[in-house]
Structure formats: structure tokens, C-alpha cells
Structure 1
């Protein structure tokens, strides 16, 4: 529950359930490419191929896997993948895609904070989480404890996430300027959004349009992982993001990435982080 008494999980899950089919039908997720090309990988996974390394034979977990395109991509790189998400409709789309492509991926419905009892402790060689996942969780320290418990000794966390600077920016100004409007640091109170749209191109209409989000500062994320005994092995900030957060202000790059057209060096938009659990 949030401080105002609303169940953020119920609100957020209803929104994701409402949008899962539209996301699967959108060109942005390239679901049809997965069906016809057994070598195709999601743009998110393609971006981090140089950093992912060899996944062959590893037991991997994708937290907040949504419709499973990144999960399937990691399986195509040789990992034995499990995907976890709290949205039943999203997992229905994920299971359908896995069945159609012959992928052996296990999908489990659970809230992230209940992942250990749902899956078992110490099961995974790596935990993966993608862009736009952490903002749905109110407590990054609790998340870090879950990740550490899920990993085997020697296992690693691999994440690419929206940078907290990105989530703090607002472009809704009459002069079109970008300003730091929203919290950079984690706060107890959520940001409450009412939005009948979604981040993919679609003509679908939605009925569950209120969601709760939280930002988590980069130092807060790193410190939460260090406090669990994980060892930071990589932290790279990027000037691009795999969708268009500021329409009309972005330029398209190779690999379906976008960055700010005007002076992209002004702000980081995503980051890739890796941390390892000691043997």
C-alpha cells in the first residue's frame, strides 16, 4: 500500500494487463520478427551484446519480463531462462510467443518482492532486468536484497535501466525546454500518473490509466547492491534510450535507439550495471 492507502500493485498490474495485447501487436516489440526469424534478438538485448558475455548453459532469471521478448532473446543466446512478472495478461502473451517459437522458457507470475518464495533462493547464475523496471518498485533496497538472495554464489546481476535523470526530466513547457521537475531520489510517496496512452504506437484504447512510480538515484541503486555484499563490476552511462521519451526532441540511431537531437551530451538517459555475488 502507498501512504494514501491505495494498493500500487493492483493499480499498476491493471494497467499492464490492459496494455499487454497492444504491446504484443505493436511493431515496437517486433513480435512477428521473433516468429519468422529464429536468430532475431530484441533491440534491448542487441544493445548490450558486447557486455552480456557468453550465456551458454547458464540459469537466468528475467525480473519484470513483461511479454517476454527480452527473455526469449536471452534464451536464444543459450541461457536456460525463467521470466517473472506480476501481470497475468503479459505472461499470456509471453507464453504464447515462446510456444510459437519453440523456446523452452518458464514463466512465473509473481510480484518481484515475492520472487524468492515463488522461485527458490540461490537458483540463478544471472539475474537480468531491463529498461523501465525499477520505477515500478517503491523500495530499491528491498529489491537488491531479493536479487542477492536469488543469485548463486558467483552469480551476477545484469541490468540496463532508465537513468534517474531521465525519469526526473519534464518536457511539458510552453517553450519546449527540458527541466528537472520530478524527484531524482527515492521518496516514500509515489508519483501518480493518469495517462490513457502507452509508449508504443497503437490505436488501442485503455481503461486502467492510473499508475504509481518511484525514482531511484544512481547512488541509491549502487549502495543498495553493495549493502547486500554484491561487488560492482561495471557501470556505463548512455546518452540513448530504446524508445522516444520526448517526442519531437529525439533523433533515431542505429539499433532503434533514440537520443536527444540537441546537445545529447547534456544528460544520461540509460545506464548498464553489472554486479557479482562473491563465491
Structure 2
């Protein structure tokens, strides 16, 4: 696991500057428009509700555009990530925008020791995070430990069924990868990233894991959280299946045809009850 984290950290450290410079992350728009929110958080708003005055932490926050968006909605924000290069970009953006956000460098598995336990009203995890974690139970344990009694987890993530599909097929949906959590990672070697950039990555290898929806729910229940909402969506904010998707006005990608065939993402909410 430590080897996998080291490999993945090198990849995300290299991505950080590319993402911060890319128009896809909209750093210049954030800096020029104090009301601007990320597309991810705009999608979340109807389910997120009023978070003004809440103490919140964004786990696996990357370069902090979603974290900043939550701060603009009135939450007292902290952000945690294992990539120092990502946190440097997140801090720079927050300073440019005059946002008081605390950023902490740590693995999500160490979140409850790096941050004060039982002190957050809201734990937020945005999309594209859980697939970097070998064990979902350790994540759920830290989520539960960070939340105050009555505090809420808000998670939107890519659907594990999507992550099991073969993304190299451009005209059909084919299962290729594990759906359930598995000990050994799926290893990728890809020198590109998902934003507009002319540069390629030298730290191109990454390790990823899938976690079934039932495994995620069960882990949260095991650690004392009560599921308060679970909604599956036919959309996702990146072109997860190239050649089979179209981009909507809401900055979400959907299947070009047969959207009813497979969920692409989901929103899960849970409350700490003990």
C-alpha cells in the first residue's frame, strides 16, 4: 500500500501544476469572479443544501477548486490531500481569492490524526477520489472519526459499475475490470492527464482500486453512520467513455444513446449516529 501511495503521489504532484494552469480548472475565473463555483459543486447544490456556518473538511481536495467553492457557500473549510504540490496550488488559489482555508498534507487514512476528531459538521468527498484508495473500510473509519455526532458525509463519486467498464471500447459497453474491492491494484501507465495541456507526465504509472456500492454502504454502516440518501445519476463530469458520450450544458457527460443502461455516478449522504 505504501508503494502504491508513493507511486500515485508522484503522479498527482506532477499533475498539480498542469491542472492549475489548465482552463478546465478555471483558476482565472475563480480569481476574477468572487461568485464563481466549480461545476462539481454546482451539480451538488440541490442535495448539499445550506452549508453556511458549518465546519467542513474536503478529503482528497487536490488543487482546491471544490474546496474554495464550498467556502464561498459559507462553510468554514479545511482541505486534506497527500500531494504537497496540489496543496501548494490550492493554497495559492485561496490566497488569490481571499479565502481563509486550512490545508493539511496527509493521507486520507491519517485524516483523523492530522485533523481534530469529532469536530466537523460536514465531511465532503468530491468525484474521482475513492478509486485511489486500497481499502474502503479505512476511509469510512476516518470519515466517522472526523464527524461530530449528527454530522454529515456528502459523497459524489463515479459509479463502481462505470469503473468496471472497458473505457477503450468506443461503441459498446463491456465489463473488463473488477467491480468489487480487490487486494491488488489495477495498474495503469498513461502519460496524459484529463485536462487540456501539451505536456506529458513522466510519473505516468498509477494504481487504482474499485469498491462496490454495497461495500461502501456497509463500511459506513459498520462505523456508525446512517445512510440518509443515495441517488444514482446518468452523468459524470468527465468523458469517462470516449466516443460514447456527449457533453451537456451542465458540464456533465452522458451516454450518447441508451442512458438508462448504466449509472455513471452517485451521490451518497450519511449521518454519524454514534
Band of TM-score, shorter chain: over 0.9
CA contact (8 A) 1:171 1:177 kept: no
- Partner residue in 2 for 1:203: 198
Whether 2:78 is the aligned partner of 1:79: answer: no
Q: Map 1:162-241 onto structure 2 (within 5 A).
A: 162-173=158-169, 176-241=171-236
- How many angstroms does 1:248 deviate by? 2.1
SS of the residue 1:18 aligns to: helix
In structure 2, list runs of 5 or more residues that go unmatched. Answer: none
| Runs ≥4 residues deviating over 3 A | none
- 1:249 Cα deviation from its structure 2 partner: 1.4
Q: Residues 29-44 of structure 1 correspond to what in structure 2 (within 5 A)?
A: 29-44=25-40
Q: Which moved more, 1:62-71 or 1:246-255?
A: 246-255
* Alignment partner, residue 267 of structure 1: 262
What residue in structure 2 maps to residue 257 of structure 1?
Answer: 252
Aligned length: 274
- 1:120 is displaced (CA, Å) by 1.6
TM-score, with structure 1 as normaliser: 0.96
2:21 and 2:173 map into 1 onto residues whose CA distance is 32
* Aligned-pair Cα RMSD in Å: 1.1
Q: CA deviation at 1:171?
A: 3.4
Q: Which residue of 2 aligns with 1:278?
A: 273
TM-score (ref. length: structure 2): 0.98
**Structure 1: unaligned runs, 5 residues or longer:** none
Q: Give CA-to-partner distance per residue, 1:159-192, whole Å, 9 cap, x none.
A: 100000111011324x732201000000011101
Instruction: Give the match for residue 51 of structure 2.
Output: 55
| Counterpart contact for 1:234–1:273, Cα < 8 Å | yes
Q: How does 1:156-167 map to 2 (within 5 A)?
A: 156-167=152-163
Rounded to whole Å, the distance in 2 between the matches of 1:171 and 1:139 is: 23
Please tell me whether the aligned partners of residues 131 and 211 of structure 2 are also in contact (alpha carbons under 8 angstroms). yes
Given that 2:168 and 2:242 are in contact with CA atoms closer than 8 Å, whether structure 1 keeps it comes out as no
Residue 105 of structure 1 is aligned with which of 81, 101, 105?
101
